[in-house]
Amino acid sequence: MKRYFSNWDNWLFKNRSAEKSINLFHCLNELDDHSLVEEVQQYLQFDNLNQSTLSSSQWSAVIFVLLTSVDDLDEFVLQKYNRSDDVLLKLLPVVAKSRTADLSFCKLSKKSCVALASVLSSNSSSLRELDLNWNKLGDSGVKLLSAGLENPLCKLETLRLRGCNLTDEGCEPLASALKLNPSHLRVLELSENKIGDSGVKLLSAALESPLCKLETLWLWDCNITKEGCAALVSSLKSNPSHLRVLYLSNNKIGDSGVKLLSAVLENPLCKLETLSWSGLGSATLCAQRILYAVYIHIRLRHCSFSRLRDCNITDEGCAALTAALKSNPSHLRELYLPGNDKIKTGCELLFALQHDKLYRLEDLR
């Protein structure tokens, strides 16, 4: 029987599904025939698979080895094997059993999106983080992927689609998925896609729902103006309790967009902890300082320790810091401000608080 398996392995594995092939490897294992598996383990050990053309039986052995190794199922990285749609489809059972799948820079197309949607829709899938950065999926690919995202069985928490050639058209199925299945996705990365104001408006409509649990939204360099900023601010007012991190750098939101963001940050229900706004186009330095001052004011309500090294803070910023401490004197204990050479008299206000017994500030540098 062992010789039969050994001589006819290619015939046995030909045109069989991955699941059936894996079952055959279990049979081989019970018969103490480990030849194919050992061959693949050597390839895996030296990371040679990405340079190899494997037979169907060898690919089945790869799947078997990966599925029977607990350590390898924490994160699957497609680049270790081969960067193509065809290889991803072969290794789809491994993707489904992995908690994290790094498929970035792998030349994937919408062909892979159909398969990934099926993984996301599976009740047995372990996938929680999916990185598709820098694959030319386009709007049609994201539409196919969103069919899996909107499935109530989908438990994905992080989706990265940076530089995937999306436009506002691709935002529509994403927004629909967020509405239909709002309770799991926590991180959405859409940076360096030209989704524009219309795309942001679609996403903002989904963010307005109190059921939406999104905590981190990356919109770096997305062609957003004050119009898109207004939509985001509206969603933050409607649902202020979840979003913690918002990246808006390299968008031309201007002074009016900065002022809108400043207003929403003043809302005591707003939970934003990280806001990136560098490179806001026509926004004046004054407007950005206003936003920065309000942002620091909000951050200091909730923390006991703050480092603000080399942050271009001026006396105006120190005044905002002082106001924040006065409005909430019971938390901040340490405050470091090195490298802010534009501060002239502002530190005197802070030193005065340090010597006041009403405040808890113990260490000021």
In a domain, 356, yes or no: yes
Point out the least confidently predicted range of 19-28, 100-109, 158-167.
Answer: 19-28
In a domain, 34, yes or no: yes
**Spatial separation of the C-alpha atoms in residues 101 and 187, rounded to whole Å:** 15
Domain termination site, one of 68, 88, 115: 68
Domain termination site, one of 68, 83, 111: 68
Q: Containing H/E element for 306?
A: strand 305-307
pLDDT at 226 over 60: yes
Mean pLDDT of the chain: 78
β-pairing, 274-276 vs 245-247, is parallel
In a domain, 325, yes or no: yes
| pLDDT winner (highest mean) among 54-58, 66-70, 218-222, 319-323 | 218-222
Find out whether 183 and 154 touch, Cβ atoms under 8 Å: no
Which structure tokens are listed for 198?
């219309």
Tens digit of pLDDT for each residue in 339-354? Answer: 667 777 767 877 787 7
In a domain, 64, yes or no: yes
| pLDDT winner (highest mean) among 103-112, 239-248, 277-286 | 103-112
Confidence of residue 295 (pLDDT cuts 50, 70, 90): low
Residue type, 175: A
In a domain, 341, yes or no: yes
Query: Pick the residue with more confidence: 146 or 16?
Result: 146
Confidence of residue 3 (pLDDT cuts 50, 70, 90): very low
Confidence of residue 13 (pLDDT cuts 50, 70, 90): very low
For 309, the domain range is 305-365
Measured at the CA of 89, the angle between CA 84 and CA 95, to 5 degrees, comes to: 100
Tens digit of pLDDT for each residue in 155-213? Answer: 999 999 999 999 999 999 999 999 999 989 999 999 999 999 999 999 999 999 989 99
Q: What is the model's pLDDT at position 62?
A: 76
In a domain, 126, yes or no: no
In a domain, 62, yes or no: yes
Domain termination site, one of 40, 68, 96: 68
Residue for token pair 């046995």? 12
Query: Pick the residue with more confidence: 299 or 97?
Result: 97
The domain tally of the chain equals: 2
Confidence of residue 220 (pLDDT cuts 50, 70, 90): very high
In a domain, 145, yes or no: no
